[in-house]
Amino acid sequence: MRVLVVNAGSSSLKLSVLDGDDTVAQSDADDLATFVARTSGIDAVGHRVVHGGTEFREPVVIDDVVVRAIAALTPLAPIHQPRAVRYIDDARTLLPDAIHVACFDTAFHATIPAAAHTYALPKEWRTRWPVRRFGFHGLAHAYAARAAAEHLGRAVDDLDLVTCHLGAGASLCAVHRGRSVDTTMGMTPLEGLVMATRAGSVDPGLVLWVQQHGGLRLGHVEHALEEASGLTGLAETGDMRAILHRRAAGDDDATLAFDVYIHRLRREIGAMAASLDRVDALVFSGGVGEHAPEVRDAAARRFDAPVLVVEAREDLEIARAVARIVA
């Protein structure tokens, strides 16, 4: 069965066609119609959707009701959700006879227990609004855990793993016997690790302070936390390769950026380990996780666990989920 995987990011579109584990075609061009016209024999389409809220805890066959429900979650993912809906609509028009399946980045974390996903906030807030930790990168974490188990020659439900998806966005996951039990991102992707442009976790009082005493408007603060913080705020670049090069040359800002990144990464790995019975392996994926051995070495140095590197393959995870549903 040939599955078209549509992975719509905040400003990018990755397309791939898979037949089993084999990649038939790939494209990063933002032109779904042309890609579909060039590719024959598509039986099903898997769509990556960033946010499933509390409603979507597993992949689901798409119909008009599902599309409306995905669109209704736009306040929780205002950049990603509308693009997902756009490409779902386009793909259903281009391939009306194919089965379309939505695969949610939050779904893998639906198994996180209440103690880990509940914020200690007023009950009125928690009952009125969806203020809870959802977690993201679930497709990447699920694939990394499964691939690590295959590499170790063990069943994933016999392992405790800390999966580290480190790219422009970055998060960790504590995977207990194949199920997510904790993760570093929260209600939004701003929580957790230092990232390319995102600050990660900061004191909420700091955010209030810069608005009350610094006179910064909400939009300015939002832009700063999303686009101008993290490695970019520390070293004026979110590119870890550039930071490593400048650090090797003695650049102070790059050295500080690396040290802050590693400190937070080590601390959060320790937090994920505390949610597990043991740590059978640390699993790294994503652009930084796969291609920056200096980061892996520095992060893993204090943990007595094997270190594995797994290529991030959200497309395979999506295609396999689609195949299960179709079957």
- Here the CATH number for the domain that contains residue 26 is 3.30.420.40
H runs (alpha helix) in the chain? 32-38, 64-72, 80-94, 114-117, 123-128, 138-152, 204-212, 218-227, 230-235, 240-248, 252-274, 286-291, 293-300, 314-326
Q: Which helix H or strand E contains 173, and what residues bound it? A: strand 170-176
164-188 burial, b at 16+ Cβ within 10 Å, e below that, comes to bbbbbbbbbbbbbebbbbbbbbbbb
Q: Based on the domain organization, do 192 and 279 belong to the same domain?
A: yes
Nearest to 70 by CA among 106, 97, 28, 43: 106
Are 290 and 223 members of one domain? yes
Note whether residue 178 is domain-resident: yes
Of the residues 43, 105, 203, 259, which is catalytic? 105
| Residue 311 tokens, joined | 């290529």
Q: Is residue 148 part of a domain?
A: no
Are 162 and 257 within one domain? yes
Is residue 127 in some structural domain? no
How many helices (H) and strands (E) are present in the chain, helices listed first? 14, 11
Task: Verify whether residue 277 is a known catalytic residue.
Answer: no
What is the tally of structural domains in the chain? Answer: 2
Q: Are residues 83 and 225 in the same domain?
A: no
13 and 99 share one domain: yes
Those residues whose C-beta lies under 8 Å from the C-beta of residue 233, and which sit 6 or more positions away, are 197, 199, 224
Q: Is 19 exposed, middle or buried (0-12, 13-18, 19+ CB in 10 A)?
A: middle
User: Does 227 map to a domain?
Assistant: yes
Amino acid letter at 292? A
Position 292 in a domain: yes
Same-domain pairing of 93 and 165 = no
Amino acid at position 21, single letter: D
Same domain, 161 and 305: yes
Mark whether 185 and 304 lie in a shared domain: yes
Tell the burial category of 159 from Cβ atoms under 10 Å away from its Cβ (0-12, 13-18, 19+).
buried
Per-residue pLDDT of the chain (327 residues; tens, 9 = 90+): 999 999 988 778 999 999 988 989 899 877 899 999 999 899 999 999 999 999 999 999 999 999 999 999 999 998 899 999 999 999 999 999 999 999 999 999 999 999 999 999 999 999 999 999 999 999 999 999 999 999 999 999 999 999 999 999 999 999 999 999 999 999 999 999 999 999 999 999 999 999 999 999 999 999 999 999 999 999 999 999 999 999 999 999 999 999 999 999 999 999 999 999 999 999 999 999 999 999 999 999 989 999 999 999 999 999 999 999 998
176 and 80 in a single domain? The answer is no
Give pLDDT, residue 37.
93
Q: What range defines the domain where residue 273 resides?
A: 156-309
What pLDDT does 209 receive? 96
Burial grade of 327 (CB within 10 A; 0-12, 13-18, 19 or more):
exposed
* Residue 131 falls inside a structural domain: no
Cα–Cα distance measured from residue 82 to residue 103, given in angstroms and rounded to the nearest whole number: 15
Do residues 53 and 196 both lie within one domain?
no
